[in-house]
Amino acid sequence: MTSLPDNILHLPEYHILDIKDEEHDLHFRLEAPGPVACEECGVEGEFVRFGKHRDLPIHGKRVVRRRYTCRACGKTFRPALPG
């Protein structure tokens, strides 16, 4: 594990388990709150993991977040980050 601050993500609901610092990427293994409902239609429990999506960089490194697809409305979404 690298020596980055514990609160580097500034997301208190996320618990960082491990960080791997590579040339172009920071790999975080973390416990994150999963979505409760589809962010498009609001239906609860009708979504499945659907790959990953590149997001805005953190500290000059690429960021990838998990995506979900709702079985009720067919929309793909990424859970919103707090704040």
How does DSSP assign the chain, residue by residue? -----TTTT--TT-EEEEEEE-SSBEEEEEE-PPPSB-TTT--BS-EEEEEEEEEEEETTEEEEEEEEEETTT--EE-PPPP-
Q: pLDDT tier at 4 (50, 70, 90 boundaries)? A: low
pLDDT in tens, 40-62: 898 888 888 776 766 667 677 77
CB 40 within 8 Å of CB 70 = yes
Domain boundaries, the chain: 15-77
The string of pLDDT tens digits covering residues 19-38 is 888 887 777 777 777 778 88
pLDDT at 73 over 90: yes
| CA 37 – CA 47 distance, rounded (Å) | 8
pLDDT at 53: 65
